[in-house]
Every structure is written in C-alpha cells, then in structure tokens.
Amino acid sequence: MDDHSPLKRTPLHALHVSLGARMVPFAGYDMPVQYPAGVMKEHLHTRGAAGLFDVSHMGQIILRPKSGKIEDAALALEKLVPVDVLGLGENRQRYGLFTNDQGGILDDLMIANRGDHLFLVVNAACKDADFAHLQDHLGATCDLALLDDRALIALQGPRAECVLAELWADIATMRFMDVAEAALHDVPCIISRSGYTGEDGFEISIPAASAEDVTRRILEHPDVLPIGLGARDSLRLEAGLCLYGNDIDTGTTPVEAALEWAMQKARRAGGAREGGFPGAPIILGQFAEGAGRRRVGLKPDGKAPVRGGAMLYADAQGHTQAGVVTSGGFGPSVDHPVAMGYVAAPYIANGTQLFAEVRGKYLPVTVSSLPFITPTYKR
C-alpha cells in the first residue's frame, strides 16, 4: 500500500472521534485503537457485558449466480476454498480460507448462504486482492459486488443477545453461525450470530447512511461500551483465533495453522468433492502425514509478555531453534501473558517447555491448548 495515500474512513469515523477514541492507521483506515476506558477495561467489559466494535473496514462481498441457482455459486467458490460451501444451508455461515497453489493462505473469511446469493466478509487489507481473485475465477459464473455502501459492526459478549432482543425479539432464536435479516430501529440489517472474540455475539451489516444512528442507539444501552482494535486483538488472541498477516499468511498452510476444522469432510480425502481447491495436493498430503510445524498456544511461565516475532528455542541457551511466536501479549481475562506461534513437529505436544528470546533473555514458555478462555458460542 502507498504510505502516502490518505487514510480511508468508515461510516462510523465521526462517532469514534466524538467518543474520544484514539485513532490509528490500520489496513489503510483511520481506526479507533481504544476509547477513554482503555484496552484493559474494554476487554473485560466485552467478556462481562457487551462490547461494540466497528469492523466496517472489512470487505463485504456478494456473489450472485448468473444461473439463479445458489449451487452454481457454491461450487464455483469451492474452487478457491477448501470448504464445504455446497453443504452450507440457507441462512447459515461458516469460516473459510482462500488458498494458493502452494497451499498457503491468501486470506481468511466468513461465507454465508443468503438463499439466492453468497455473502462473504473478508479482511480489510486483503479485500481488493480477494475481489480481483474472485472476479478472475468466478466472473464467468457469478455477478460480484464489493459493497462500499454498508457498515459492519460487531456486538460481542454475554449481554449482546439481551441488548439486541430489545430491538428485535426473535434474535434469541438464532444459533451460532445463523444469518438473518431484520430491521433494527427501522433500518434493514443483515445479522449473523458470530464474531471474533470467543464470546457469543453478533455481526450486523447496516446501510452506511443509517449506520451511525443505529450504532449510537445501541451504545445508549447501559450494558454496551465501544471497543477498539487493541481489545479486539487481545480478545481474539485469548480465543485462539488467527490474525491474518500475523498468524496465517501465504507462507502457512491450513494444516500448519491447525485449521483442519475449517475443512469439512466433503473436501478432504475420500470426501464427495475431495480436493479441487488451490494447493489441494500439498494440503491433503499434510492432512494425511502431518506438517513439519504447527500453530500452538504458548503460555509464558513468568509475567513478561512474549510478543509476535520472538524466536523459540528448545533449550534455555538459545542453541536449538524450535519455532517463532506470531502473536502474543497480555490476556486480561486470564490475567496472564498469552501467545501463539509455530513450533517444529517434535515440540507440539501440550506441556512441552520451550524458551522465548525476549530482550536477550530466554524466558520459559509452555505449549498450551487453544483457546485460553472457554468460548460461549450458542450452538
């Protein structure tokens, strides 16, 4: 990206500024990293009540089959993702990955079946490349649109359902990964019961012109606080979720990233539509035989946070390399530092002691299962 190009603004930019947010550049957007409450309180409030996030910088893409048959869009998209899209029911959503011919990950995304079209949400930094990639491969079968007239907010936490139920009573009937259309304050919205914090919650796509009004009204609820990117990062890290560009990228495969769960049976070896996505021979090979390294949770034994980029060693002297930390920081809900990273196959077992190089010292860390918190998804 051109560092000199002006930062883009989401439809909620003025709201963030009026709430006293500290704004930072993120993926080409001027985004709130924290509000006056601060990262710690914002994090804990999300897990204790409800936090509202502006994720409008992410890309919202519609894939509409030219034939009118949703199956045609699903099968076309399956050529780019190792995901069972055909088996995704109407108004259901699932997590997915765009892969490349080397088995690397181009982006991670959400895929929803909206009956007559597919609705995708992709990462902000990748959205233009993703859209071009989709047009190249799906342009013949689908009409594509990268929506620039909709905001996207997330309301996450144990009070999220109650807060939204005051606006739309039927919200309680939604299960994790359900998608529905409903009017909130008379504005037609697309709601999914999902998010990226490990908490029960919702993501809400709102027409841009009404986004600030709807968001302000939700923020008026005493249980809701606005949450910035700082707490979004610590929440997703505690939940063991990958940040694209840190924990997954074109140099990591879905198997190395421990994302096998995102590849349903139909696309695996012996499945009804085995392979047929970029990098399938490599990814299915690793599926059968394991990869040379794997993403694991890492719990520093001491109080010092271990950050992304720290090298991992098998010994306290830093002689034998074992891997690298990709995300790390302090987990406010577990009240302890937490991290994740890639370690070589001999070191992936939970309980394995490794050493992270931090400011010239080798700090003990223990390979730990992810997530660090217990997710509260309403399945």
Partner 1 sequence: MLKFTDEHEWLKIEGDVATVGITAHAAEQLGDLVFVELPEAGTSLDKGATAATVESVKAASDVYCPLDGEIIESNQAIVDDPSLVNSDPQGAGWFFKLKLADPSAANALLDEAAYKELIA
- Mark the binding-site residues for substrate, compressed into ranges: 203
Instruction: Give the per-residue contact string, 341-370, with partner 1 (x = CB under 8 A; - = no).
Output: ------------------x-----------
Does position 230 bind partner 1 by CB under 8 A? yes
Q: Which of 14, 17, 25, 38: binder of partner 1 (CB under 8 A)?
A: 38
What is d(CA 276, CA 274) in angstroms, rounded to the nearest whole number? Answer: 6
Does position 337 bind partner 1 by CB under 8 A? yes
In this complex, which beta carbon is closest to partner 1, that of residue 174 or of residue 358? 358
Which neighbouring-strand residues pair with 234? none
Q: CB-based contacts of 220: which residues, under 8 Å, 6+ apart? A: none
Cβ of residue 135: shortest distance to partner 1, in angstroms? 36
CB atoms within 10 A of CB 344: 16
Q: Look at residues 325, 308, 157, 342 and name the one whose alpha carbon lies nearest to residue 231.
A: 157
Binding residues: 203
Does position 32 bind partner 1 by CB under 8 A? no
Does position 299 bind partner 1 by CB under 8 A? no
In this complex, which beta carbon is closest to partner 1, that of residue 216 or of residue 307? 307
Does position 39 bind partner 1 by CB under 8 A? yes
Does position 325 bind partner 1 by CB under 8 A? no
Does position 19 bind partner 1 by CB under 8 A? no
Does position 11 bind partner 1 by CB under 8 A? no
Cβ of residue 332: shortest distance to partner 1, in angstroms? 6
Q: Which helix (H) or strand (E) holds 110?
A: strand 105-113
Does position 238 bind partner 1 by CB under 8 A? no
Does position 192 bind partner 1 by CB under 8 A? no
Does position 307 bind partner 1 by CB under 8 A? yes
Q: Long-range contacts: 9-17, Cβ < 8 Å, 24+?
A: 10/54, 10/56, 10/57, 10/151, 11/56, 11/151, 11/208, 11/209, 11/211, 11/212, 12/54, 12/56, 12/151, 12/153, 12/211, 12/212, 12/215, 14/212, 15/54, 15/212, 15/215, 15/216, 16/54, 16/226
CB atoms within 10 A of CB 317: 9
Cβ of residue 329: shortest distance to partner 1, in angstroms? 6
Of 36-44, 81-89, 112-120, 143-151, the window that binds partner 1 (rule: CB under 8 A) is 36-44
Give the CA distances from residue 284 to residues 58, 86, 110, 345, in Å, rounded to whole numbers and listed in that order: 30, 19, 22, 17
Does position 34 bind partner 1 by CB under 8 A? yes
Does position 212 bind partner 1 by CB under 8 A? no
In this complex, which beta carbon is closest to partner 1, that of residue 17 or of residue 169? 17
Q: CB-based contacts of 235: which residues, under 8 Å, 6+ apart? A: 43, 46, 47, 51, 156, 196, 197, 198, 199
Contact 319, 332 (CB under 8 A): no
Cβ of residue 236: shortest distance to partner 1, in angstroms? 13
Q: Which residues in this chain contact partner 1 in the complex, by CB under 8 A?
A: 33-34, 38-41, 43, 230-231, 233-234, 303-305, 307, 329-330, 332, 337, 359
